[in-house]
Amino acid sequence: GRIKSKGKQEFGYGKISARIKLPTGQGIWPAFWTLGGNFTAGSEPGVPWPYCGEIDIMEHIGSIPDTSYGTIHGPGYSAGNSIGDSYTLGSGSFSDDFHVFEIEWEFESIKWYVDGNLFNTLTPDDLPLEESYWVFDHNFFLLLNVAVGGQWPGPPDGTTVFPQQMQVDWVRVYQRQ
């Protein structure tokens, strides 16, 4: 399933956060993320991925229940070459209780937090290639989804329990005036 704010609400710099209890299991891939508001799919006018930019506030691989990831995707750093870091709980799993996932997004800086703990900061200086460029200087829309299968998590197997659910308590966006 997926919920998105495209065509309804887009956001620029500020703080974006959500309190979420995550599903778990082989092949389960929940995410709280953003895409550039100029994103195009198919024949729509606009900018294709990854040139529109993508900020993964939280991605989780259900077979690694104590770890979440925060990354960016753009030209020269997308898919398996994204830039980011991970946060691992001291004990338990992200399916045991609700956790707050958030970013603080400024003009040339994005910071990731889990439960108030800073675990990743990226700026244009962190881009990997000379031909890479920062594409996080315009409005983005939000997405919340649970994917099943895919190259990163792999397919579900005999240990995967269905149905699965990602419980979202709230989503908040704070923007500077």
Taking the C-alpha atoms of residue 106 and residue 93, their distance in angstroms, rounded to an integer, is: 30
- The candidate with the shortest Cα–Cα distance to 143, out of 14, 25, 51, 29, is 29
Catalytic center residues: 54, 59
Question: Contact at 8 Å (CB) between 63 and 26?
Answer: yes
DSSP-derived secondary structure for the chain: -EEE-TTT--B-SEEEEEEEE---STTEEEEEEEEETTB--TTSSSB-TTTT-EEEEEEE-TTSTTEEEEEEEBTTB-GGG-EEEEEE-SSS-TTSS-EEEEEEEETTEEEEEETTEEEEEE-GGG-SSTT-----SS-EEEEEEEEE--TTT----TT--SS---EEEEEEEE---
